[in-house]
DNA sequence: GATCTGACTCATG
DNA sequence: ACATGAGCCAGAT
């Protein structure tokens, strides 16, 4: 039984998020789809909450809503901090305060 | 081990 | 355009 066989859905989610290059963002549903389970989009978010953090190799700040919006109130210190991190990586934001998915959504 | 909950998303009112 | 409901299923209590 390899680690992947474990229930560790979270662990697999981390694996996907870890592959998101800097200056790119992915949606929860997109990551879930990469796991082969597009219905578990919620758990991808949960995994981020429980994630070891950027220092742990999980740039959860690169994971956003399908709309390009950020998690309100649950992002590390607030969506503003998340936005700051993304902008620092070169991600552009729309006047609406959302990520420009049209230009920065990550494609495997 | 049943119940509740939830960083989502889609459909409907 | 915004609010609410429902579906999804694994983790926490």
Q: What's the pLDDT tens digit per position in A38-64?
A: 999 999 999 999 999 999 999 999 999
The candidate with the shortest Cα–Cα distance to A105, out of A55, A45, A62, A53, is A62
Residues in contact with strand C, defined as Cβ under 7 Å from any of its atoms? A 7-10, 37, 39-43, 46, 50
Distance, in Å, from the CA atom of A83 to the CA atom of A10, rounded to the nearest integer, reads 24
CB-contacted nucleotides of strand C (7 Å):
7-12
Instruction: Report the b/e string of A59-82 with b at 16+ CB within 10 A.
Output: bbbbbbbeebebbeeebeeebeeb
Question: What number of CA atoms fall less than 13 Å from residue A64's CA on the CB side?
Answer: 26
Instruction: Say if CB A14 and CB A47 are below 8 A apart.
Output: yes
Which pLDDT score, from 0 to 100, does residue A7 have? 64
Q: What stretches of chain A show up as alpha helix (H) in DSSP? A: 9-18, 28-35, 41-49, 79-89, 101-104
Structure tokens at A50: 């429980």
Instruction: Return the pLDDT at A108.
Output: 85
Q: What is the CA radius of gyration of chain A?
A: 13
pLDDT value of residue A91:
96
Task: Give the length of chain A.
Answer: 108
pLDDT score recorded for residue A75: 82
**CATH number attached to the domain at A9-89:** 1.10.10.10
* Residues forming beta bridges with residue A92, ordered by sequence position: none
Spans of chain A below 50 pLDDT: 5
- At A3 the pLDDT is 52
């Amino acid at each position: 039984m390899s680690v992947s066989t474990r229930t560790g859905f979270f662990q697999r989610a981390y694996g996907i998020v870890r592959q998101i290059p800097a200056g790119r963002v992915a949606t929860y549903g997109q990551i879930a789809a990469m796991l082969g389970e597009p219905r578990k989009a919620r758990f991808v978010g949960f995994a981020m909450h429980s994630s070891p953090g950027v220092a742990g190799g999980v740039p959860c700040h690169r994971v956003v809503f399908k709309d390009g919006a950020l998690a309100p109130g649950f992002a590390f210190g607030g969506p503003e901090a998340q936005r700051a991190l993304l902008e620092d990586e070169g991600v552009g934001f729309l006047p609406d305060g959302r990520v420009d998915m049209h230009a920065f959504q990550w494609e495997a």
